[in-house]
Amino acid sequence: MKRLFMSAVLVMIAIATFAANPLKVVNGDKKFFKNAEGTVFLEVIYDEGATFDDKMPLAEKYNNLDEKATIAYNGFIEEFSERNKKLQFVKNEEEATYKITIKVTKVDEFINVMGFIPGPCIRVWGTFTVTDVKSGETLLVVNIDEIDGGSAPTTDRAFNDTFGELGQAIAKLK
């Protein structure tokens, strides 16, 4: 009985460990942000084939994707900048040392009624890419596998929180 219990505990720890990180570095140095300095241009785009809940085109669900991109942009910058003081965000790509592209491929939304703040919760999938502006070299590619920022009073706030959570997670890559 003791072995069965210990085996179950180890399985639960393993599941929690693998499920805990929605980011997977697929190319480049995951410690990139630890040493990087300079300016950054951020671009949030929605893939042409982006879907909502794998069922419908994202543009069909949200007819204001440009506004959602701005909300995502602000959420990411706010949280990332709080944790990484060596990089400064600029509005013009020509002024930047690096370009970050967050390409959203899938979004899911659900209503969380059991949380501290009941309301919509947004989950996002996609890719995060850092390129050197001058050389065009890809420095880092990270797959985003279901990141969410918890529930919020509105869908827009949930988008902001989700991309804020992404900013925190990216800044912590080590």
pLDDT in tens, 35-44: 899 999 999 9
Tokens of 167: 């900013």
The per-residue pLDDT for 174 is 73
Q: What share of the chain is helix, strand, coil (3-state, %, to 5)?
A: 40, 40, 20
Residue 57, beta-bridge partner list? 51
Domains of the chain: 23-171 (3.40.50)
Give the residues of the chain that fall short of pLDDT 70.
1-20, 115
The per-residue pLDDT for 40 is 97
The per-residue pLDDT for 127 is 97
How many Cβ atoms are within 10 Å of 131's Cβ, its own excluded?
19
The per-residue pLDDT for 48 is 86
Identify whether the C-beta of residue 158 lies closer than 8 Å to the C-beta of residue 124. no
The per-residue pLDDT for 9 is 46
Start-end of H helices in the chain: 2-20, 32-35, 58-61, 65-83, 155-171
